[in-house]
Amino acid sequence: MTAKIIDGKAIAAQIREEAKNEVEALKDRGVTPCLAAVLVGDVAASKVYVKNKRQACEKVGITSVLRALAADVSEPELLKLIDELNNDPAVHGILVQLPLPKHIDETKVIEAIDPSKDVDGFHPFNVGRLVIGLDTFRSCTPAGVQQLLLRSGIEVAGKHVVIIGRSNIVGKPLANIVVQKQKGANATVTICHSRTKNLNEICRQADILISALGQPAFVKPDMVKPGAVVIDVGINRIDCPSSDKGYKLVGDVDFEPVSKVASAITPVPGGVGPMTVAMLMVNTVKAARMALDRAS
Ligand code: NAD
């Protein structure tokens, strides 16, 4: 068996196109969606992520504002900036690029963001709404995984979805998305983590196996049931002397051998990654639409 490759780039482009049409419609109503990105310090990966997100905004017609702060900015100063953005009616979405420097309490910062501008979906208010099945901002990577499945025609209802990883940004929200009594969900869900016993055995029971742990080539073919769908959320940097940069990006899945067992699989890069940015555009448009509806 050779797995069908799920093309995250193409699906993300389709979603961005839909977001672009919605932006046009909002502009006709007199509002241009605006995303404020807060970048603290000089971490290379964070700078790249923020740059990609801002470029995506530009392509779909969302205004993007960058607020870059020095690595030694104090927590009160950062909270003051968040407060300013919360109170700026021209700003619809606030994105604080994580991780933050160690002296800043990330939870405090996330909780300071107005939930109606929390386009990353990390605020406990939005997480709570997600858990009880209410409309909310869903965190971008898990929401992107669901869209990949939906738009690839992969049925989730009644399937056993096994997720490796229980982080607040991927594993836990993803489990809460696919377990809902909603379209594109209704799955039976197992969350695995670093203390899980018999991981291989549990993974082999998955109809849909989703890996989000951050270890290259961790998922081997003997962990995959023949014909299962494999979604690789991991992004890992490994040395690659033959590339210009000296490194390359790989997922958590040992791609070649696993694609001989799975029925469908996402590549890295070009799978889940582009979906995260596309869903951020969707959430920003939604924030602008909600602000407009509240005002009218
Ligand atoms: P994290 O480090 O916060 O969480 C990793 C999780 O994996 C933990 O819950 C841990 O319990 C679990 N884990 C670790 N070792 C394990 C093992 N041996 N067996 C079972 N479980 C184990 O990571 P995260 O922020 O959730 O990110 C996970 C991966 O996804 C990373 O590679 C990250 O770069 C990537 N990521 C990608 C995107 C994207 O847009 N594609 C977005 C976010 C994160």
Whether the Cβ atoms of residue 95 and residue 85 lie closer than 8 Å to each other: no
What confidence score (pLDDT) does residue 269 get?
96
**164 shares a domain with 110:** no
**109 shares a domain with 144:** no
Q: What percent of the chain has pLDDT over 90?
A: 98
Which residue in this structure is represented by tokens 């964070």? 46
- This prediction's pTM: 0.97
pLDDT at residue 69 greater than cutoff 80: yes
Question: Is residue 267 lining ligand 1, measured as CB closer than 6 Å?
Answer: no
* Residue 233 CA to ligand 1 centre (angstroms): 8
Exposure string of 112-146, with b = 16+ CB inside 10 Å and e = fewer, is: bbbbbbbbbbbbebbbebbeeeeebbbbbbbbbbb
Number of domains present in the structure of the chain: 2
pLDDT band at 296, cuts 50/70/90? confident
Residue 138 to residues 10, 29, 127, 206, Cα–Cα distance (Å): 21, 25, 8, 24
Query: How many other CB atoms are found less than 10 A from the CB of residue 230?
Result: 30
Query: How many other CB atoms are found less than 10 A from the CB of residue 170?
Result: 25
Q: What percent of the chain has pLDDT over 70?
A: 100
| Maximum pairwise Cα distance, the chain | 57
What confidence score (pLDDT) does residue 1 get?
75
Whether the Cβ atoms of residue 166 and residue 172 lie closer than 8 Å to each other: yes
Structural domain boundaries, residue 239 = 140-275
* Residue 191 CA to ligand 1 centre (angstroms): 12
Last residue of a domain, one of 46, 80, 114: 114
285 within a domain of the structure (yes/no): no
**pLDDT tens digits, residue range 202-231?**
999 999 999 999 999 999 999 999 999 999
Q: What is the mean pLDDT of the chain?
A: 97
What is the pLDDT averaged over residues 180-196? 97
What is the pLDDT averaged over residues 155-175? 98
How do beta strands 188-192 and 264-265 pair?
A: unpaired
226 within a domain of the structure (yes/no): yes
123 within a domain of the structure (yes/no): no
What confidence score (pLDDT) does residue 53 get?
97
**pLDDT tens digits, residue range 15-67?**
999 999 999 999 999 999 999 999 999 999 999 999 999 999 999 999 999 99
What confidence score (pLDDT) does residue 28 get?
97
267 within a domain of the structure (yes/no): yes
**197 shares a domain with 152:** yes
**160 shares a domain with 72:** no
* Residue 281 CA to ligand 1 centre (angstroms): 23
* Residue 165 CA to ligand 1 centre (angstroms): 5
CATH number at residue 46: 3.40.50.10860
**269 shares a domain with 200:** yes
**267 shares a domain with 228:** yes
20 within a domain of the structure (yes/no): no
**162 shares a domain with 260:** yes
**144 shares a domain with 92:** no
**150 shares a domain with 63:** no
**74 shares a domain with 189:** no
pLDDT at residue 270 greater than cutoff 80: yes
Could you give the CA distance from residue 138 to residue 101 in angstroms, rounded to a whole number? 25
Could you give the CA distance from residue 284 to residue 290 in angstroms, rounded to a whole number? 10
23 within a domain of the structure (yes/no): no
The first and second tokens of residue 145, run together, are: 């995984």
Active-site hit among 118, 120, 207, 252: 120
Counting ligand 1 atoms within 8 A of each CB, the residue from 106, 172, 213 with the most, and so the one to mutate, is 213
**185 shares a domain with 83:** no
Active site residue 147: no
CATH number at residue 202: 3.40.50.720
What confidence score (pLDDT) does residue 172 get?
98
pLDDT band at 292, cuts 50/70/90? very high
Question: Is residue 123 lining ligand 1, measured as CB closer than 6 Å?
Answer: no
Active site residue 14: no
Ligand 1 atom closest to 170 (CA): 26
**156 shares a domain with 268:** yes
Identify the residue whose C-alpha is closest to ligand 1 atom 26.
167
* Residue 142 CA to ligand 1 centre (angstroms): 12
148 within a domain of the structure (yes/no): yes
126 within a domain of the structure (yes/no): no
**pLDDT tens digits, residue range 233-269?**
999 999 999 998 899 999 999 999 999 999 999 999 9
Active site residue 53: yes
Active-site hit among 97, 146, 225, 232: 97
Per DSSP, 215 falls in state -
